[in-house]
Amino acid sequence: MARTAGSHSDITGPRVRAAAQKLFAARGFAAVSMREIAREVGVQAGALYNYTADKQSLLFDLMQSHLEALLQTFEDDPTATPEARLEHFVRFHIRFHHDRPDAVFIAYMELRNLTSDNFARIEAMRGAYEDRLEAILRAGVTDGSFDVADTKIATLAVIAMLTGVSTWFRSGGRLSLQDVEAEYWQMVRKAVAPS
Amino acid sequence: MARTAGSHSDITGPRVRAAAQKLFAARGFAAVSMREIAREVGVQAGALYNYTADKQSLLFDLMQSHLEALLQTFEDDPTATPEARLEHFVRFHIRFHHDRPDAVFIAYMELRNLTSDNFARIEAMRGAYEDRLEAILRAGVTDGSFDVADTKIATLAVIAMLTGVSTWFRSGGRLSLQDVEAEYWQMVRKAVAPS
C-alpha cells in the first residue's frame, strides 16, 4: 500500500491528535472509528498505527496532554496573599478552559471510556491540580483571610462552578470573558470569606 | 415471531426506558444499539419498536422525563424570605440529583446527540428550571438581602457548583449528604450575600 502524503510522524502525529480531538468532541469516543480519524487526517487507516497503538491510546494522550498543559501553565505565587492567589486561580481557570472547549469536553465526558489504569493516571493528574487550589484555600484559612469549613469540598465546588463557564459562555455575547471572570471572582471571593 | 414475556406496553415501556438509561449512562448513547437494549429488557429487537419509534426518541424521553420530574418536584414558596427560598433550592438540587446519577449523567452528557428540535425542547425545560432559581435571586436583590451583579450568571454558577456534587459524592464516605448540603449552602449563602 502506497504511503499517502504527510505520513512523517513529526507532521502527522499532531494532525492525528487534532483530528481525533475534533471527532471525539463532536460525536463521542465510542462512535468514532480509527478509519474515520484516518479519513479526517487524509491517510490510510493502516498508517494511523504508525502514530498510535489504538483508539484508547489516542484518548488517553489527549486527556493527558490537556492536564499536563493545565498543570504546567498554572503558576501559583505562594508569597502573594491567599486572596491574590485565589483571584489568579479563578481567572486562570476560566480563561484556560475557555480557550480549549474540545479538550475540556473530552476530559470530562470520556472518563468512562478510559481503561482503569489510564483512568487512575488521569485522576491523579486532576487530583494534583485540585491540590494546587486546596493549598491556596488552606493558606487563607491558616492566616484567617478565608473561612471554609472543608477545604476539599470548597475546592471541588469552586472548580465545578468555574468549569461550568465553558458550557455556556460564547464570545461576542452580552458579556466579555473579562466581565465573566470578574463576576465569578466576586462570587468565589465572598463564598470563602469570613461571614 | 413469538412475542416474548412481558411485552405488554404498560410493563415493558418502563423496562425499556430503564434498560436504555442504564446502557446509555454506562457506555454512551452512540455506542448502544437497539439490539442491546432489547437484550437487556429480554425482548426481541423488533418488539422494541412497539414502545419507541427509535433510539433518538428513547434518549429524548429519558431527558424529558428527568426534567419534568425536576420541574414538578421543586416547590418554591414565594412568600418565604429569599434566603429561605435559596436554602431550599440548594438542598433540593443536591438531593434530587444525588438520587438519579444515571439520569443526570445522560441529561448533561448526551445533549449533542439530540436532534435540533429535541435539543430546543430540552433547553427550554432547562431554562424554565434556571428561571426558578433566578426568580429567587432577583427577589433577594430587590429586597436587599442579596448582592448579585448579574442574576443570570449567578444562576448558572450556583447550578454548576451544586450539580458537581453528583460527580464526586458517594454515600458512606467521609461526609453525609446532609453535611455536604450544609457546606454548599454556606458557600452559596455567602457568595450572594452583600459584602
What CATH number is associated with residue B34?
A: 1.10.10.60
Burial of A50 (0-12, 13-18, 19+ CB in 10 A): middle
The residue among A102, A123, A156 with the most chain B CBs within 10 A of its CB, best to mutate, is A156
Integer CA distances (angstroms), B170 to B50, B98, B100, B101, B180, in order: 37, 9, 12, 11, 11
Residues A75 and A157 grouped into a single domain: yes
Query: In terms of Cα–Cα distance, which of A48, A24, A28 is closest to A38?
Result: A48
Distance between B170 CA and the closest CA of chain A, angstroms: 13
In this prediction, residues A123-137 reach a mean pLDDT of 97
Q: Which residues of B touch A149 (CB under 8 A)?
A: 183, 186
Percent of chain A with pLDDT over 70: 94
The nearest alpha carbon in chain A to B150 belongs to: A183
CATH of the domain at B156: 1.10.357.10
A163-181: pLDDT as tens digits:
999 888 877 888 999 999 9
Report the complex ipTM.
Answer: 0.88
* Residue B3 located in a structural domain: no
pLDDT of residue A160: 95
Residues A26 and A70 grouped into a single domain: no
* Residue B1 located in a structural domain: no
Q: CB–CB of B159 and A160 under 8 A?
A: no
Asked whether the beta carbons of B160 and A159 are under 8 A apart, the reply is: no
Closest partner residue to B30 among A31, A164, A175, by Cβ?
A31
Residues A26 and A104 grouped into a single domain: no
Residues B97 and B186 grouped into a single domain: yes
Helix axes A9-27, A34-41, angle to 10 degrees: 120
Residues B149 and B181 grouped into a single domain: yes
Residues A89 and A173 grouped into a single domain: yes
Q: Is B167 on the interface with A (CB under 8 A)?
A: yes
Q: Which residue stretches of chain B have pLDDT < 50? A: 1-7
Distance between B127 CA and the closest CA of chain A, angstroms: 12
Instruction: Calculate the average pLDDT of chain A.
Output: 91
Q: CB–CB of A109 and B113 under 8 A?
A: no
Residues A107 and A171 grouped into a single domain: yes
Residues A19 and A83 grouped into a single domain: no
Cβ neighbour number for residue A31 with a 10 Å cutoff: 15
Closest partner residue to B164 among A113, A150, A160, by Cβ?
A160
Residues A63 and A48 grouped into a single domain: no
**b/e code B44-82 from CB counts within 10 Å (16+ = b):** eeebbeebbeebeebbbbbbeebbeebeeeeebeeeeeb
In this prediction, residues A124-144 reach a mean pLDDT of 98
pLDDT above 70: residue A3: no
DSSP type of residue B29: G
**Residue A183, domain extent:** 59-192
Residues A102 and A84 grouped into a single domain: yes
User: In chain A, how many domains are there?
Assistant: 2
Q: Is A41 on the interface with B (CB under 8 A)?
A: no
A72-112: pLDDT as tens digits:
999 999 999 999 999 999 999 999 999 998 999 898 888 88
Residues B28 and B87 grouped into a single domain: no
